Structure 1
Amino acid sequence: MAKQNYQPPRLTLPVGERDHIEGPSDARMVLVEYGDYQCPYCGAAYPIVKKVQKELGTKLRFIFRNFPITTSHPQAEWAAETAEAAAAQGRFWEMHDFLYENQASLADHGVFANYAKKLKLDVKRLEQEVAQHVHLGRVREDFMGGVKSGVNGTPTFFIGGARYDGYPGFGPLIAALEKTEKG
């Protein structure tokens, strides 16, 4: 029996204006993460991604998309909506980082309101937008884009548009990204 070549699922929702992006638009290496703010594996991957970003600098474009798995993580959707509400005030990445760095405190919403105050965000607006689910459509759009792209757990990474099925460690991620750069 002939062995078939495995082709990993591809990203169905292209990277665009709607995305949260760090890094230059002309970067040859593109890393997309579908993440859940309450997922312990995403929490473990967070400092690794930061280290990859630091190592590759302007050669890397990093995109984060929400994939809250609410059946396992009851605070995940709230956290994603909080990040999106901060994004509406121009502070997505600061809140994104704070959510991951304070993952153990996700149930204490006051911690995040205090941080929003430190960021000089309109806290009342942020809290109202989260309470009224103003950004829930955006979160669910990310989620459905992930489902259509073959995401079935978190974190899930895409490198150069293809799902990365390897170990999400520093060395393997760097190697996979550099492989796509070489084409």
Structure 2
Amino acid sequence: MSNVILNDALGDRHQLVVPPFEQDHRQGSFNARVVLVEYGDYQCPQCGRLYTTIMAIQRQFEATLLGRDSLCFVFRHFPQPQIHLQAQKAAAATEAASAQGRFWQMHEMLLKYPQALGDGDLAEYADKLGLDVTQFLRDIARKVYVDRINRDIASGMDSGVVSTPALFINGVRYVDALEFEPLLVAIAKASYG
């Protein structure tokens, strides 16, 4: 576990309560030296910037001796519909895309265009990704994935998450800067013990 500096306001709620498991959306192996868990919202501009940073860190790990299997990235939904009106629907869109094997592609698309999350936009993204658009839209309209999204939200709340993005490195809340360098250093430190 990393000795990441924790915010005193988090009190005892600085640990990831629900550890990563098979139903999580992940890139990498759970056996990696570092498991990075993000709770995110697709309309949150910081989440989009953070995803770009995490992809750069993944590339950095792949290019070093640490290798690809040393970092696992897990994404969990934490839509905040009280401030981001389309966030819940966007989370459902990624789940509908996941049912067709395209979670990460939709994830990246939505983070790239956080202000274009209307029904027409989502249908256009689904079409670009080669999804069955009718099924995709039907799944969203029928709220097929509400329980899955709510499970992520509940696990985040149990771990003290109140806003996005929220990160955990090897189960410990990370509260330092979300820029490339400090996050890379924290992940690298966690990978060594």
Tell me the TM-score normalised to structure 1 length: 0.92
Q: Which amino acid aligns with 2:114?
A: Q
Q: Which residues of structure 1 form unaligned runs of 5+?
A: 1-5
Residue 69 (structure 1) aligned with residue 74 (structure 2) = no
Q: Which residues of structure 2 form unaligned runs of 5+?
A: 1-7, 63-67
Aligned residue-pair number: 178
Structure 1 residue 8: Cα displacement: 6.3
Residue 15 (structure 1) aligned with residue 20 (structure 2) = yes
The SS at the match of 2:101 is coil
Structure 1 residue 52: Cα displacement: 1.2
The SS at the match of 1:31 is strand
Which residue of structure 1 aligns with residue 151 of structure 2?
Answer: 141
Residue 176 (structure 1) aligned with residue 186 (structure 2) = yes
Q: C-alpha separation between the residues in 2 aligned to 1:8 and 1:170?
A: 25
Q: C-alpha separation between the residues in 2 aligned to 1:38 and 1:118?
A: 20
Q: C-alpha separation between the residues in 2 aligned to 1:137 and 1:26?
A: 27
Q: C-alpha separation between the residues in 2 aligned to 1:8 and 1:132?
A: 34
Structure 1 residue 115: Cα displacement: 2.1
Q: Which amino acid aligns with 2:140?
A: V
Q: Which amino acid aligns with 2:185?
A: A
Q: Is the 8 A contact 1:8 1:162 kept in 2?
A: no
The SS at the match of 1:104 is coil
Within 5 Å, give how 1:48-127 maps onto structure 2.
48-57=53-62, 58=68, 59-107=70-118, 109-127=119-137
Q: C-alpha separation between the residues in 1 aligned to 2:25 and 2:188?
A: 22
Alpha carbons of 1:164 and 1:8: their partners in 2 closer, same or farther (altered >3 Å)?
farther
Which residue of structure 1 aligns with residue 39 of structure 2?
Answer: 34
Q: Is the 8 A contact 2:13 2:159 kept in 1?
A: no
Q: Which amino acid aligns with 2:96?
A: A
